[in-house]
Amino acid sequence: MAETGTRTGDTLPKGFRSAEHGWPELARIPHPPHRIPLLGDLLGASRSTPLQDTLRYARQLGPIFRRKAFAREFVFVWGAGLAADMADEQRFAKHVGLGIANLRPVVGDALFTAYNHESNWQLAHDVLAPGFSREAMAAYHPMMRDVAERLTGHWDQELAAGRSVDVPGDMTKLTLETIARTGFGHDFGSFERDRLHPFVTAMVGTLTYAQRLNSVPSPALLRRAGRRNEADIASLHRTVDDLVRERRATGGGPGDLLDRMLDTAHPETGERLSPENVRRQVITFLVAGHETTSGALSFALHYLSLNPAIAARARAEVDRVWGDTAVPGYEQVAKLRYVRRVLDEALRLWPTAPAFAREARADTELDGDHPMRRGAWALVLTAMLHRDPEVWGQDAERFDPDRFDATAVRARAPHTYKPFGTGARACIGRQFALHEATLVLGLLLRRYELRPDPAYRLRVTERLTLMPEGLRLRLERRTAPRSTAPAAPAGPVPDEEVSAPRCPVHRAGD
């Protein structure tokens, strides 16, 4: 039956945990062949790559399909019309799917794990949204640039030693230090360590465990892993508690996200975040603020290394826009239109948060064809929506940043590109991530030529988020004078593409 929770006003239930309770005509929705009792559709499935398995079934079964794992049935949607219908905020809302719900022992009712009937999401969002204003972003920019210089210093050392660079590992260090410095005034010393910081190790452990829970009928089968997960959660909590204690001891900081969490009252109610809520939000920002961005940068660098003509065009734009400026300013990053398109295209092919769940606010019909009861939910398979040949063409698997030039964006239907989710619960840090990633790509293109390993074939690691596995690149330091060749024309840019910071809750297209 449905888990209804407490309902007041326009709040929503937690949703049906298995699709057969919420979809009256579920039998009409196709599922993989060879379904067997108890296991469902798990025959031949991979525990380590469930998303990539699901993409394979999506191609076979069409724009709406279902899979069953043990006693739980899941409905997946990826067709453009179906996904656009589920983006309707009047009829659908965020659903905290099982993978995200598995993280609630770590962060409780934080921004991306709160159920719709829980009030802390709106409180935290309203208190923290000004931390992503244009003024706040401009203040973060010098710190982002400083961390990026630590990355280039490390890569210069690897280049001098004749070694290739560990792209996912170094992007993880970069993005962790960036969110820690800008949001919380903390330095994890990632680039001075031979191994990942224990916070990252614990974070990866909790994300991996959350995904593994979906592949077993009962958590009792993961007792040993469960004990490790409890230790990882305790480690995350200790790290954040120490960080908050340090800030309180100093009597305040530079007005960053942590200061807002500790000192800012809601502008209308006067309510403040509780100490427990502060801890949950800090962990959320440290994890979500670096895990997805590091994956996006890693995929972008992979595709740039494989496409030298695209890399040359992006590099020419950096040279033209930044010129001989030693330290690029905040406004100069927003002018890197083509570099931003490179990033957008990498997020199209591999959205690092590859799906999001939506539930019905009331009994309805999806796209006028599939009845859904109030609380019924489905997973919008973003990674397949971004490959829909009816939207992106028969060459949708090809990396092509020109899919995001102004004309192409205007010609596409709304809600066909959703790497940051949709609606009121879309990623609050979207513009932070895009500015950081565009800045870093610009700095790396300006400094290096990227050379792929000819033997490497892209493998994607799944731990709720996506990351290229084992990606290493060889570097060559640029020695020739910077090109003055014209970059991509900079015409008017629609709301879907513009990089000026804004709250995604209110952006056009949602």
For 312-343, the DSSP string reads: HHHHHHHHHHHTT-SS--HHHHHT-HHHHHHH
The predicted structure's pLDDT at residue 504 = 36
Closest CA to 304 of 475, 488, 55: 475
* Better-predicted residue by pLDDT, 45 or 268: 268
Q: Are 397 and 387 in contact (CB under 8 A)?
A: yes
Q: Choosing from 420, 432, 438, 465, which is the catalytic residue?
A: 420
Closest CA to 155 of 456, 449, 437, 439: 449
pLDDT at 495 over 50: no
**Whole-angstrom distance, CA of residue 364 vs CA of residue 362:** 6
Find the range with the poorest average confidence among 26-30, 205-209, 405-409: 205-209
**Whole-angstrom distance, CA of residue 150 vs CA of residue 309:** 28
Q: Which residues contact 250 (CB under 8 A, 6 or more apart)?
A: none
Strands 165-166 and 472-477: antiparallel
Strands (E), 28-69: 64-69
Kindly list the strands in the beta sheet with 165-166, ordered across the sheet, starting from the edge strand earlier in the chain: 165-166, 472-477, 448-452
Q: Which residues contact 153 (CB under 8 A, 6 or more apart)?
A: 191
Distances in whole angstroms, Cα of residue 98 to Cα of each of 15, 351, 376, 443: 11, 19, 14, 38
Average pLDDT, the chain: 89
Catalytic residue at 292? Answer: yes
Q: Are 460 and 164 in contact (CB under 8 A)?
A: no
CB atoms within 10 A of CB 217: 12
Largest CA distance in the chain: 67
Read off φ and ψ for residue 52, nearest 5 degrees: -70, -30
Q: Are 259 and 281 in contact (CB under 8 A)?
A: no
Band (pLDDT 50/70/90 cuts) for residue 15 is: low
Handedness of CA 339, 341, 346, 351 (dihedral sign): positive
End-to-end CA distance of the chain: 31
**Whole-angstrom distance, CA of residue 248 vs CA of residue 271:** 19
* Better-predicted residue by pLDDT, 337 or 493: 337
CB atoms within 10 A of CB 11: 15
Mean predicted confidence (pLDDT) in 412-422: 96
Alpha carbon 421 to chain centroid, angstroms: 9
Mean predicted confidence (pLDDT) in 231-236: 96
89 token code pair = 């905020």
**Whole-angstrom distance, CA of residue 380 vs CA of residue 375:** 15
Distances in whole angstroms, Cα of residue 43 to Cα of each of 70, 209, 338, 399: 11, 21, 44, 32
Band (pLDDT 50/70/90 cuts) for residue 65 is: very high
pLDDT at 494 over 70: no
The predicted structure's pLDDT at residue 277 = 92
Closest CA to 237 of 283, 295, 177: 283
Catalytic residue at 65? Answer: no
Residue pLDDT, tens place only, 426-479: 999 999 999 999 999 999 999 999 999 999 999 999 988 999 999 999 999 997
Alpha carbon 42 to chain centroid, angstroms: 27
Q: Choosing from 132, 206, 404, 427, which is the catalytic residue?
A: 427
Closest CA to 467 of 287, 279, 294: 294
Closest CA to 145 of 116, 190, 177: 177
**Whole-angstrom distance, CA of residue 256 vs CA of residue 426:** 21
Catalytic residue at 427? Answer: yes
51 token code pair = 């998303």
Q: Choosing from 172, 178, 284, 292, which is the catalytic residue?
A: 292
Residue pLDDT, tens place only, 378-396: 999 999 999 999 999 999 9
pTM for the whole structure? 0.90
Angle, alpha carbons 263-176-431 (nearest 5°): 70
| Bridge partners, 73 (sequence order) | 68
Q: Is 475 helix (H, G, I), strand (E, B) or coil?
A: strand
Burial class for 246, CB neighbours closer than 10 Å (0-12, 13-18, 19+): middle
Q: Which residues contact 183 (CB under 8 A, 6 or more apart)?
A: 131, 256, 257, 258, 285, 286, 289
**Whole-angstrom distance, CA of residue 320 vs CA of residue 74:** 49
* Better-predicted residue by pLDDT, 19 or 310: 310
